[in-house]
Amino acid sequence: MKTNIAFHLLLATAATLVVTSPVRADDTSPKILCERIEWCDMHVDETGRTDLPRVLFIGDSISAGYRGPAMEALKGKAYFAFLCTSKALGHPIYFEEIKLMLGQYKFDVIHFNVGMHGWDYTEDDYRAAFPKLIALLKKKAPGAKLIWATTTPYRTNGPKFDQFDPRNERVKARNRIAAEFVARENIPTDDLYALEIDHPEHSADGVHFKTEAKTTQGKQVAKFIGEALASLPSGK
Interatomic CA distance for residues 82 and 33, integer angstroms: 24
Compute the radius of gyration of the chain from its Cα atoms: 18
pLDDT tens digits for 94-117?
999 999 999 999 999 999 999 899
Beta-ladder partners of 85: 40
Query: CA dihedral in degrees (117, 203, 112, 128; nearest 10)?
Result: -40
Give the per-residue pLDDT at 191. 98
Per the confidence metrics, is the pTM higher than 0.85?
yes
Among the listed residues 3, 20, 4, 30, the one whose alpha carbon sits nearest the alpha carbon of residue 91 = 30
Interatomic CA distance for residues 95 and 230, integer angstroms: 29
Average pLDDT over residues 181-190: 98
Peptide bond into 188 cis (omega under 30): no
Residue 172's SS3 state is helix
Task: For 12-143, list the strands marked E by DSSP.
Answer: 40-45, 54-59, 79-85, 109-112
Q: Is the pLDDT of residue 14 over 90?
A: no
Q: Is the pLDDT of residue 28 over 80?
A: no
Among the listed residues 169, 145, 163, 161, the one whose alpha carbon sits nearest the alpha carbon of residue 208 = 161
Q: Do 105 and 54 meet the contact criterion of CB atoms below 8 Å apart?
A: yes
pLDDT tens digits for 122-167?
999 999 999 999 999 999 999 999 999 999 999 998 899 999 999 9
Domains defined for the chain, CATH in brackets: 37-230 (3.40.50.1110)
Interatomic CA distance for residues 168 and 157, integer angstroms: 13
Q: How far is CA 75 from CA 2, 16, 150, in A?
A: 15, 39, 24
